[in-house]
Amino acid sequence: MFRRLGQVASHLSRPLPNYARRAAAPWQPSRIASSIMAGTAQGKSLIHTAACLIIGDEVLGGKTVDTNSAYLAKFCFSLGITLRRIEVIADDESEIMEAVRRMSTNYDFVVTSGGIGPTHDDITYQSIAKAFDVPLKQHDAAFERMKRLSKPHPSQPNFDWNTPSAALTAKKRMIILPYNDAIPDEEQVIFTDDSLWVPVACVNGNVHILPGVPRLFERMLDGLKPRLLPRLTDPEGKGVLRILISTPLPESAVAEYLTELAARAEPKGVKVGSYPRWGKENNTVTLVGRDVEFMESLVAEVEKAVQGHRVAVEGEDDAAQVDPKKTEVA
């Protein structure tokens, strides 16, 4: 959705959407979002849970493969944030509004991906602004960064930043952001990389709007990390430990044991998982949690019970596959 800055379709000469529209009923910020916006004597609220909203017809239509949710999942896991939900929805205003409202209420850290480019179907900013009854405003600092850090496309040799044109109107769509004058600017418009003009727009205190282009999404998400660390249960951001145990046994053979183990591990905050690996010799059992000492104490027991052994990376002990067509006959 986040197209190259110079890409302007012919139909972009039409006026911008009516940004003055508002939701029928004023949005009431969630308890979580309110505490984040207002702050407390001890600082902002802690981040425990996260949700991801992938926005784009091209993902649902199979044109583009979503990799951003997987990157966010690894990012959250590394910081000890529990990613509770991932959704993919169309470029549809009502669906975007419903999803971001629900996610903002239910989760501490919400990330959206896609729908913030220069064309008519990039409606994420306006939809989220409408969802939370926030005005859309041109962000002048973002516009200045855009002019300084971006270059017109070679197909637009006569483009001028000071001359009104369809191309300029299209570019400005990307810096007309949801903006509440009552909230400090740095809490709403976050520049995560000195080499990028694209900001992370933050709405309702916990909804972070990112582009859909993977290389931009990844850089900007990584750039948010310093802002998130002070709000984690573990401010050092050590994350969660995952122990992998490879087993040659089928899931049906270890199901009874793993059920009993899960009941013992759950009070310690440790989750037990079982993952079949179709077409491979070995399956994987996992232990996931923060209680390192307890988890390590289980390894020998689990290895014995599933007739397996601990691995650093899933599949590292797979037997080499031999291609019979390449086998030489003496």
For 219-246, the pLDDT digits (tens) are 999 999 999 999 998 777 677 899 999 9
User: Which range in 154-158, 165-169, 204-208 is most confidently predicted, on average pLDDT?
Assistant: 204-208
Average pLDDT of the segment spanning 197-213: 97
Q: Are residues 247 and 285 in contact, defined by beta-carbon separation less than 8 angstroms?
A: yes
Alpha helices in the chain (DSSP H): 31-38, 57-60, 68-79, 93-106, 124-131, 140-149, 166-172, 214-228, 251-265, 292-305
The whole-number pLDDT of residue 28 equals 59
- CA angle, corner 285, sides to 279 and 287, nearest 5? 150
**Residue 148, amino acid:** R
Rounded Cα distance, 313 and 162, in Å = 55
Assess whether pLDDT exceeds 60 at residue 141. Answer: yes
Question: Which pair of structure tokens corresponds to residue 190?
Answer: 């976050």
Question: What percentage of the chain exceeds 90 in pLDDT?
Answer: 75
Assess whether pLDDT exceeds 50 at residue 2. Answer: no
Rounded Cα distance, 5 and 213, in Å = 12
The whole-number pLDDT of residue 44 equals 75
Q: Are residues 74 and 16 in contact, defined by beta-carbon separation less than 8 angstroms?
A: no
Assess whether pLDDT exceeds 90 at residue 266. Answer: yes
Assess whether pLDDT exceeds 90 at residue 62. Answer: yes
Band the pLDDT of 36: cuts 50, 70, 90. very low
**Distance between terminal CA atoms of the chain?**
57
Residues 6+ apart with CB under 8 A from 240: 77, 80, 288, 289, 290
Band the pLDDT of 37: cuts 50, 70, 90. very low
Rounded Cα distance, 6 and 170, in Å = 9
Band the pLDDT of 129: cuts 50, 70, 90. very high
The whole-number pLDDT of residue 27 equals 55
Average pLDDT of the segment spanning 185-204: 96
Of 22 and 173, more confident = 173
Rounded Cα distance, 138 and 147, in Å = 14
Rounded Cα distance, 86 and 145, in Å = 32
Band the pLDDT of 151: cuts 50, 70, 90. confident
Assess whether pLDDT exceeds 70 at residue 5. Answer: no
Assess whether pLDDT exceeds 80 at residue 61. Answer: yes
Band the pLDDT of 13: cuts 50, 70, 90. very low
3-state helix, strand, coil in the chain (%, to 5): 40, 20, 45
**H/E element holding 201?**
strand 200-203
**Residue 79, amino acid:** L
The whole-number pLDDT of residue 239 equals 77
Pairing between strand 200-203 and 241-247?
Answer: unpaired
| CA separation, residue 87 to residues 33, 70, 97, 272 (Å) | 20, 12, 13, 24
Band the pLDDT of 140: cuts 50, 70, 90. very high
| CA separation, residue 226 to residues 46, 214, 232 (Å) | 14, 20, 11
Please provide the average confidence, as pLDDT, over all residues in the chain: 86
Assess whether pLDDT exceeds 70 at residue 81. Answer: yes
